[in-house]
Amino acid sequence: MKDEMKTALETAMDEFDRKRSDAAKRQEAIRTKESEFSHSVERLFNEVIRPAMKKVEDTLGKRHHDCKIIEEKQTGTTDMQQHAAHISLTIKPAPPTGGYTMMASRTICFAVVRPEGKIVVGTTSSLPVRQVEGVRGSYEPNKLTPEEVEKQLVIFVKEVFA
């Protein structure tokens, strides 16, 4: 009986050790995936989105339109995210010459949705009602190409000045 008990206990402890090891491997895989995601988002913001937004800002600035690029890093932990990382471009068209007219500003934003592992593109307006505002697309970071970023920005700029 003593040998059977020892064998049963050893088997139970071996099973526990295996499960603990598997859990540690899963946690490491999650950390690796989150790290890779963070690096791909950072590369995308720095090498693709920000330079494209800067081109828009420079081009529109030459015609005295107000443009502002804002980038915010994620706050909080990956488990309890308080504020998502995002980069946005706000455009306020220059008022017409000869008088003051209230011009609405519009913003396009590329925001990180960590739980989904995606970048969401959306727009907002300073006016309360705009039919075209909202989410425009959701992309995996490796699928958001420079061409797609430029396409989204051009469509947005055309809408601002329509």
Give the residue numbers spanning the domain of 16. Answer: 2-160
Tens of pLDDT, residue by residue over 84-118, are 789 999 999 988 776 666 678 899 999 999 888 89
Burial 99-110 (b: 16+ CB within 10 A, else e): eeeebebbbbbb
H-helix segments, 45-162? 50-61, 146-160
Tens of pLDDT, residue by residue over 120-144, are 999 998 876 656 688 899 999 988 9
pLDDT in the model for residue 1: 59
Q: Do 72 and 83 touch, CB atoms closer than 8 A?
A: yes
H-helix segments, 45-112? 50-61
> For residue 22, is pLDDT > 80?
yes
pTM for the structure as a whole: 0.76
Question: Is beta strand 118-125 parallel, antiparallel or unpaired with respect to 106-113?
Answer: antiparallel
Burial classification of residue 128, based on how many CB atoms lie within 10 Å of its CB (0-12 exposed, 13-18 middle, 19 or more buried): exposed
pLDDT in the model for residue 132: 67
Total domains in the chain come to: 1
Compute the Cα dihedral for 131, 134, 140, 142 and give only its sign.
Answer: positive
pLDDT in the model for residue 104: 81
> For residue 26, is pLDDT > 90?
no
Can you tell me the distance from the alpha carbon of 48 to that of 85, in angstroms, rounded to the nearest whole number?
15
Give the residue with greater pLDDT, 33 vs 158: 158
